[in-house]
Structure 1
Amino acid sequence: MAQTEKNFDRRPDPDALLALTDSGSRGKLRVFLGAAPGVGKTYAMLAKARACKLDGIDVVVGLVETHGRRETEALIEGLEILPRRKIEYRGRIIEEFDIDAALARRPKLIIVDELAHTNAPDNRHPKRWQDVEELLEAGVDVWTALNIQHLESLADVVSRITGVIVRETVPDTVLQDATDVILVDITPDELLHRLKEGKVYVPETARRATQNFFTPGNLTALRELALRRTADRVDDQMIDYLRQNAIEGPWATSERLLVCVGGVVSAELVVRAAARLATGLNAPWIALHVETRGQEESDPERAKRIEDALALAERLGGDVERRSGYDLPGEVLRFARQENITQIVVGRSRATFLARLMRWSLTEELVRRSNDIAVYVVTEAHGPPIAERRALPRPSRIEAGIALLAALLSVGVTVGAAQLIDAWLRLPNLSMMFLVPVIFCAVQYGLSSAAAASVLSFLAFDFFFVDPRYEFTISQPHEFFSLIVFLAVAFVTGMLASRVRQQSLAMATRMQAAQSMFEFSRKLSGAGKLDDVLWAAAVHAQKTLQAQCIVLLRPDDGELNIQTAWPPVDQLNPGEASAARWALEKDEPAGWKTGTLPNVRFQFRPLETPRGVIGVCGIEPRLAKEPLSSQDENMLTSILEQTAIAIDRSLLVDESVKASALEENEKVRNMLLASLSHDLRTPLASITGAVTSLLQLGDRMQPTDRQDLLVSIEEEAGRLSRFVANLLDMSRIESGALAPRRELVDIGEAVRSAIERSAKVFPKQTVSVSIARDLPLIRGDSALLGQVLFNLLDNAHKYAGDSNAIIHARRDGPDVVITVTDEGPGIKPADLERIFEKFYRGGRPDGRKAGTGLGLSICRGLVEAMGGSIVAQSPAIRRRGTRIVLRFPVPEIGKGGVAA
């Protein structure tokens, strides 16, 4: 038992094995990493590619930048080179990597240099590393080269070291997901020597480079970054190997980091610092933004900084979470404890002394209240000046003027009212009246107006109501103390009232969003058809987001089709169609403000259901230059989730209806086979037996016996013929091929014809006829009416035997009524309607079944085709029997005796 537990504990890590399995269909990425340009990354990559070519591997050069280096150009000779895509950009022709040609060629290995390159605007992806990702997803192995300064998390570090701003970056996840990372390294002295020899840049460019970027200190620092990052990558590979092979080792508890993202200018610096820290600790990390006071709605610049920082966090490999609450430190710590966070990364607070005194400093509050979580404070060296940092949004000049004017007017009105009250009542203290304008300004115009009103109230009360009056002097110490207390109370009251106002506005916004989603959910719940669901989603998205909405679904043939759009859209241009297909196939956003075709007007989001991605929803925002706010983003996500659920429900309903129809068809098929097997085998067996007897006995049989066998053959053949005729009639009725004639029919003639036919088949059956005099003609088909009456007599014979059957015809108001009554056991009341269903043979009180179950079904089809109706009644006579009632309308007779 102990041995079993030991083997169980040493089993391979399931997640590591799953990751290894998932990488089977994906291409392999090999990155040649260097500290700086000129270390030989491209040279080493091409040298290994030539060796692979000699080993028989299909190698293609997708794009290589030689920068005029002769040694590098010599290595390309003999390798297949993919033609570049020529694009006109800003009046000149540039050459770009052709990803479509690479996917069509689909080699085993492709060389794509300059991983951090930014593509021209007309390309499918804005960055070359995204082209590489698409190749990897297609199963193509890719080799590429990268300098360490182009890693996203190190961009600001390299800028501080070298003084050069790095504008082209690659997410760290690209390097982390690479199969192999090969460090191409030389010493700084050797690199400077190569630079002087002209092996890196042309002489003039090399001279400028040695004065700026290529200095011994810069190269040493970059080399250290490259070595450290490569060592971290090798360590990750070693851990994966140990887990996959169940090799024992000390597994420490993993770290989890949380970075707080706010609207300050330095938010991106803090995010990059958190990414570097998480990479060094090999730990997952989360970027959290807590929305407070509705600042995003009042300050668009702040909202844009937050969205940029969160987007940067996603590019760097972190998860993004959004929360809302007024107690910012408490919300951060609550989320951290829920997510088992071990370290919180936050920027250094620049709060004022009063803010720190009132515990408004996020940094100090987190340090004070986080007893079991470490707080990592990022210093903002080389960041923007302190004057650029604002904790609160700065109101516009018009808003500030209105707030100040409101404070002046409200205090002035209060002074006038206090003067009247003082002259009339002579109250000893009127200071409480001056809290009214403070609260009014706080509720209506915010904290700044309340602060101005509190100061103005303080001065007005001192000037008008404190002795000596009409002077800004105070004669008594207690009056001075009262004024100070009044000022403090007014300021705190205004602050609390302003906070209540902000909370009420935020609550109203949330209530409006919740009400909107409730109305949308109610519309979707009442929409049964797919078109209704899509129309409700498009209209609600346009109304809520003030954006044009379009929904595309993928039918069985796999092509996206526009299902609905509001305002209406007839078709998409090629770029928009490509973005929609990308979102559908890759299950990720594409189009406007994304990493795939960002220049198209729509942003397409996949509609995910439990059965997979069934379509996409495109949004064209009202302001193309501004990203979606956090509130709009959350609203859009909710709309898409609700829509996907409703679409899935609608499709399930359609599939359920189809399944029910298939089940019913299967039931009918089984009943038909059962009926055929019985009703065909019985007459065939009788015919076969009679024919066999005639053949074997021949002349030895008595003439009477031979005659009986021939009569039996005739009866069974007639029975078989009637059964086949019934099947043909039913097929004609169901297919709609039955087209009865619309002629005047004499009911008496039809009844006599049916009785004569029945007498030949059932000679022992007695039929009584009662037809009213002067019975009008009806419009129909005499042959079909005779068939109906014969089927009813046949049905009466099956269930009542040779007992008497009664046919009665009379006029009942505007109708002619024909009844066929038998004296059989009758029909159960619950089965009076079911007996007209195909292949139904129940209904008898004694439980016996007879016939094929087609006769009455055919009767209903024929009668309804002639414009009549048919019902069953039971009991009919003396608590027994069954009466089948036929009703046909009497046609109007026009002038000249012609039926209308």
Structure 2
Amino acid sequence: MPENDRDLTRRPDPDALLALAEKGSRGKLTVFLGAAPGVGKTYAMLTRARRLKEEGVDIVIGLVETHGRSETAALLQGLEVLPRREVSHGGRTLHEFDLDAALARRPRVIVVDELAHTNIGESRHPKRYQDIEELVDAGIDVLTAVNIQHLESLSDVVAQIAGVPVRERIPDTVLSRADDVLLVDLPPTELIERLKEGKVYLPENARRAVDRFFRLGNLTALRELALRRTADRVDDQMVDYLKQNAIEGPWAAGERLLVCVGPDRLSEKVVRTASRLASGLNADWIVVSIERADRDSADSQAMRQLDETFRLAEQLGAETRRVVGSDFVEEILKLARREHATQIVIGTRRQRFPLRLLRRSLPDALAERASGVGVHLVTDSGETPAALKPVRKRALPKGFGRALAIAAGTVISATVLGVLIESFIILQNISLLYLLAVLASATLAGYVAAIAAALFSVLAYNFFFIEPVGTFTVAEPHEVFALFVFLAAAFLAGGLASRIREQAKAARRRATATQALYDFSRKLSGTADVDDVLWATVTQIQATLRRNAVLLLPEGEDLVLKAAWPPDTELGVSDMTAARWSLEKKEPAGSDTDTLPTSPFQFRPLTSPHGVVGVCGFVQNAKPLEINEERALAAILDQTAIAVDRARLSRESLQQAAQLEGDKFRAALLSSLSHDLRTPLATITGAVTSLRELGARMTAESRDDLLKSIEEESDRLMRFVANLLDMTRIEAGAINAKRDWVDVADVIRSALERARKYFPDREFETSIAADLPLMRGDSVLLGQVLFNLLDNANRFGGEEPVSIYARKEGDEVVLSVTDLGRGIAPADLEHVFEKFFRKGKPDGRSLGTGLGLSIAKAFVEAMGGQIKAESPAVKRRGTRISMRFPAAEADLSEKERG
């Protein structure tokens, strides 16, 4: 390959550059990692802090636990220490890290020890690592320390090594997002020696620690874990550097894991194992659960177990999926192909001998059908420490008693019916009655009832109908065979019937949920007002979840409660703080989350394609949301976000349209001013200049012509200014039309006199009906309307006379002005009454301002009339503009009737 082509292909990785740019706006996180307590993490961290202090860096101690070690406490001298926050908990006063004080102080570097510490319940975050993440997001560098056993993915391994559970854990992503991970190492023998000397714990605690945790084998294993994890982190940093600088490296480019889990305890181990595998391979991984379409999603215990597994996977950095299907192997392989997975991780348990003969396990079937994809099996053969073993409550399945009662009832009914039938007639296929009982039991109470009915049916059939009757023995061999065939058929039929029943129940539930969401979406689609959308949403959430709900929208710099159900719901200070956090960080906050969990509400952001448009909150009861409720809530919130965003965009569109209309108005006004003011002013100026300079030498006729042009152009300016003033009154809504008695004929004559004065060369014709009644209106406004119409006809009416007609049609007075000019194009008829609309050829006369007809329309409507333009008017040419007003007699008769 040519050198220039090779340079083109060796470009920095865009994702790596984007990650580097995001780090530039955040603070730097440095983690001091140790294999066990006492290796010197805090000592090394404080030594780094003192060195930074000597270099002039603004550094403070947010929180450090010395555990009574004098050499560690000595390092705190000379360093600024933030006071701790006092918290009352359980009748005691505890001292916690003050996050708000640290953010207010805003040092360049802060030291916060005990990364895996659990905060008091009243704190903003339940875990200290979340406090540190907020400090880093605020641009503050943080030094912190943690032991390897606190990593979530290693908690099960550490529990097996040490024999004790790890209570305080942090997600592996905290360590993977750290800018620097510094391993603080100490050989196990030296650590045990320090422990015996009392340099780690007090002597009494030290002896117990040596006997339980600080054993040579445990410490060696933990040291290996710490070294391996640090090496993996260094390898990740090296790969990032190579990608950012377009340096060719040997890293693998296509590893992607697909992890299969279910609602069982083994799935947690599968997820942790997959996390360690993904970390070692530097690969992305997806955790997926396959659910049957007929599965009863109301099994809350299984669903909660699955939700806990998914939350663990998300904490460890995985993407989660839920897939509905019947063929698990096909669905897994289909998803693996779609996501380009290179390896599949799945848990397996040892099957007992009879089950292995009857069917293959899912991992075996997957390994057989997978092609080109590696399959990792995670077994459950290891011994679980006693402290980690869950307490199992042995209980009968829900509805077991009812299922037995229904099975017994159907079998007894079939037996009684069979005995009655045989008293009249001997039937060879009486067993069909029992098969019917099995089907009825399966339909009424499910698979348990079907199995019980099958067993009961075999016993009853044998006792009452197989010779010798009244005993459970079978005399004929073929009856034994028939009995077993019947039992198999009953099991098969009952299983099919129960499965159909479960599928029908699942279909009804899905149909109900789908119909509810469909009705909700239709309601939102027909709602344009934001308030209506919000009220529809809170009522829908309350009806779906049976929990109180609130909706908040941002207004300026604040977040305002807009809708709540019940309407009298109020939010406290902690609730509003959690809601603001959800809006700003675009993540859930409040109850059952990692931020302000003491709030009774859980807040979730309403995210649209254009960003977060609001926050929804609902009361999180002791019982968490089930999977179906989660899906319904997610769908409701998505539709609400889109509806709110649509209403906002609609409002902004109207504002922009109004702004564009205003810009158009201003542009047209400036254009009109530049033309309609400049032309008469130039004429007046020229005439005045001529009279001043040459007036004495001009003839009387020439001076009269100049004075006449000055008078005409002055009148033209006055009309233009009057039109602008009228339009200003119209735009301001300041037109107050009078409701006096108006003689239309007098107004027409006055308008004609004014028009003949301004247009002496124009011929006008009138036709006024003799029975023309009076009308209610404003004679001044009506006269201005007629003059504007005559002015328009004079400009565009050609040389033919302009006609004015007035007549009565029914209960209306109709006035029209008709010219015989070129007319108006059909496409322009609907625009002629718009402001500044000027189109056409004015037959050599001035084009005008484009305001006359729009003013006429506003005046006519202010008087309660209607105005309309027609073209062509007469003999396929000309324009007629007609107006209709209620006649005075009709108006008076209406009042009398009222």
CA distance in structure 2 between the partners assigned to 1:860 and 1:817 by the alignment: 15
Shift of 1:47: 0.9
> CA, structure 1 residues 687+300, in 2 after alignment: closer, same or farther (shift >3 Å)?
same
For 1:608, the equivalent position in structure 2 comes to 607
Q: Which of 719, 724, 743 is 2:721 aligned to?
A: 724
Q: Is the 8 A contact 2:294 2:499 kept in 1?
A: no
Q: Which residue number corresponds to residue 586 of structure 1? A: 585
Once residues 298 and 40 of structure 1 are traced to their aligned partners in structure 2, the CA distance between those partners, rounded to angstroms, is 51
How far does residue 204 in structure 1 lie from its aligned partner after superposition? Answer: 2.5
2:758 & 2:494 partners in 1: Cα distance?
Answer: 105
CA contact (8 A) 2:159 2:385 kept: no
Distance 1:223 1:390, change over 3 A: closer
How many aligned positions are there?
A: 894
Q: Which residue of 2 aligns with 1:599?
A: 598
Residue 669 of structure 1 pairs with residue 671 of structure 2: no
Distance in 2 of aligned mates of 1:742 and 1:58: 80
Q: 1:507 to 1:867 in 2, by over 3 A?
A: closer
Q: Tell me which moved more, 461-470 or 658-667.
A: 658-667
- One-letter code aligned to 1:789: L
* Matching residue of 1:842: 839
Give the equivalent residue in structure 2 for 1:328.
328
Go from structure 1 to structure 2 and tell me whether the alpha carbon gap of 1:790 and 1:344 turns closer, same or farther (over 3 Å shift): closer
| 1:208 corresponding residue in structure 2 | 208
Which residue does the alignment assign to 2:861? Answer: 864
Q: Which of residues 647, 652, 670 in structure 1 aligns to 2:649?
A: 652
Question: 1:181: how far off?
Answer: 0.6
Deviation at 1:884?
A: 3.6
Moved more, 243-252 or 770-779: 770-779
| Separation in structure 2 between the aligned mates of residue 810 and residue 367 of structure 1, nearest angstrom | 96
Q: Report if aligned partners of 2:296, 2:506 keep a CA contact under 8 Å in 1.
A: no
Match of 2:704 in 1: 707
CA contact (8 A) 1:349 1:362 kept: no
Partner deviation per Cα, 1:19-39 (whole Å, 9 max, x = no partner): 222211111110001111121
| Match in the other structure for 1:36 | 36
CA distance in 1: counterparts of 2:197 and 2:331, whole angstroms: 60
Report the counterpart of residue 383 of structure 1 in structure 2. Answer: 384
Taking the aligned partners of 1:9 and 1:802, their CA distance within structure 2 comes to 78
Tell me the secondary structure at the aligned position of residue 165 of structure 1: coil
CA 825–71 in structure 1, closer or farther in 2 if over 3 Å, else same: same
Contact 1:265 1:389 (C-alpha < 8 Å) held by counterparts: no
Matched, 1:568 2:570: no
Distance in 2 (CA, whole Å) between partners of 1:845 and 1:383 is 98
Deviation of residue 570 (structure 1)? 4.9
Separation (CA, whole Å) in 1 of partners of 2:253 and 2:806: 94
Distance 1:440 1:353 in 2: 33
CA contact (8 A) 1:443 1:498 kept: yes
How high is the sequence identity, in percent, across the aligned residues? 55
**What do residues 676-707 of structure 1 show as CA deviations (whole Å, max 9, x unaligned)?**
22222221221122122223223111122112
Distance in 1, matches of 2:338 and 2:809, equals: 81
Aligned to 1:888: 885
Q: Is 1:692 matched with 2:694?
A: no
Give CA-to-partner distance per residue, 1:35-80, whole Å, 9 cap, x none.
Answer: 1112111111111111111112111111111222222222112222
Once the two structures are superposed, residues 537-557 of structure 1 have per-residue CA deviations (whole angstroms, 9 ceiling, x without a partner) of: 3333322232333222224x2
Aligned residues of 2:605 and 2:616 also touching (Cα < 8 A): yes
Contact 2:442 2:497 in 1 (8 A): yes
CA distance in 2, matches of 1:391, 1:512: 34
Alignment map for 1:750-829 (pairs within 5 Å): 750-769=747-766, 771=768, 776-800=773-797, 804-828=801-825
| 2:162 matched residue in structure 1 | 162
**Does structure 2 retain, via aligned residues, the 8 Å contact 1:683–1:717?**
yes
Quote how far apart the aligned CAs of 1:216 are. Answer: 2.5
Superposed displacement of residue 131, structure 1: 0.7
Deviation at 1:736, TM superposition (A): 0.8
Please name the residue that 1:517 is paired with.
517
Question: Aligned equivalents of 1:290 and 1:849: distance in 2?
Answer: 79
What is the Cα deviation at residue 654 of structure 1?
2.8
Aligned to 1:554, the other structure's residue is in SS state strand
When residues 808 and 252 of structure 1 are mapped into structure 2, their CA distance, relative to the original with a 3 A threshold, is closer
Structure 2: which amino acid aligns with 1:697? L
* Deviation (angstroms), 1:424: 3.4
What's the CA shift string for 1:218-248, capped at 9, x where partnerless?
2222222211211111121222222223333
The one-letter amino acid paired with 1:688 is: T
> Conserved in 2, the CA contact under 8 Å of 1:298 and 1:393?
no
Cα–Cα, structure 1 residues 426 and 736, in superposed 2: closer, same or farther, change >3 Å? same
Matched, 1:632 2:633: no
Q: What is the DSSP-based 3-state SS (H/G/I as helix, E as strand, rest coil) of the residue aligned with 1:227?
A: helix
Q: Secondary structure at the match of 1:524?
A: helix
Q: RMSD of aligned C-alpha atoms?
A: 3.1
Residues 549-576 of structure 1 deviation map (CA, whole Å, 9 limit, x = unaligned): 3222224x24222232333255421111
Residue identity opposite 2:598 in structure 1: N
The letter of the residue matching 1:566 is W
- Tell me, yes or no, if structure 1 residue 223 matches structure 2 residue 223: yes
Q: Which residue identity is paired with 2:694?
A: L
Q: CA deviation at 1:588?
A: 1.3
Question: Which string of whole-angstrom CA distances, capped at 9 and with x for unpartnered residues, describes residues 810-836 of structure 1?
Answer: 444444444444454444555455332
Describe the SS at the equivalent of 1:93. strand
Taking the aligned partners of 1:796 and 1:248, their CA distance within structure 2 comes to: 82
Aligned ranges for residues 381-530 of structure 1 at < 5 Å?
A: 381-383=382-384, 394-396=396-398, 399-530=399-530
8 Å Cα contact 1:294/1:506 also seen in 2: yes
**Amino acid of the residue matched to residue 397 of structure 2?**
P
Q: Cα deviation per residue 1:787-815 (whole Å; 9 max; x = unaligned)?
A: 22322332232233675444444444444
What is the DSSP-based 3-state SS (H/G/I as helix, E as strand, rest coil) of the residue aligned with 1:619?
Answer: strand
C-alpha distance in 1 between matches for 2:592 and 2:301: 17
The amino acid across from 1:568 in the alignment is P
1:266 and 1:380 in contact (8 A); partners too: no
Residue in 1 that maps onto 2:143: 143
- Single out whichever of 261-270 and 721-730 deviates more from structure 2: 261-270
Aligned residue type for 1:377 = V
Q: Give me the whole-angstrom Cα distance separating, in 2, the residues matched to 1:510 and 1:820.
A: 68
- Alignment partner of 1:5 is 2:2: no
- After the TM superposition, which of the residue ranges 165-174 and 562-571 deviates more from structure 2? 562-571
2:271 and 2:309 in contact (8 A); partners too = yes
1:471-529 deviation per Cα after TM superposition (whole angstroms, max 9, x unaligned): 11112222212212221222222223222222332233233333333333333333333
Letter in 1 for 2:128: R
Asked if 1 retains the 8 angstrom alpha-carbon contact of 2:438 and 2:450, the reply is: yes
How far is the alpha carbon of 1:882 from its aligned partner?
Answer: 4.0
Q: 1:355 to 1:598 in 2, by over 3 A?
A: farther
* Deviation of the 1:172 alpha carbon: 0.7
Distance 1:306 1:315 in 2: 14
SS in 2 for 1:560: strand
Is the contact made by 1:30 and 1:178 (CA closer than 8 Å) also made in structure 2? yes
C-alpha separation between the residues in 1 aligned to 2:352 and 2:757? 114
Deviations 1:597-638 (A, max 9, x none): 1221222222222222222222324xx122222222222222
Q: Structure 2: where are the runs of 5+ without partners?
A: none
Q: Is the Cα–Cα contact under 8 Å of residues 828 and 845 in structure 1 kept in the other structure? A: no
Scaled by the length of structure 2, the TM-score of the pair is: 0.93
Shift of 1:173: 0.7
Asked whether the equivalents of residues 296 and 303 of structure 1 are also in contact (C-alpha less than 8 Å), the reply is no
Deviation at 1:201, TM superposition (A): 2.2
| Shift in CA distance, 389/421, structure 1 to aligned 2, threshold 3 Å | farther
Q: Does 1:67 align with 2:64?
A: no
Moved more, 281-290 or 48-57: 281-290
- Which SS does the other structure have where 2:39 is aligned? coil
Q: For 2:672 and 2:665, how far apart are their aligned partners in 1?
A: 10
> Which residue identity does 1:687 align to in structure 2?
I
| 1:298-309 alignment runs, 5 A limit | 298-309=298-309
Structure 1 length as normaliser, TM-score? Answer: 0.92
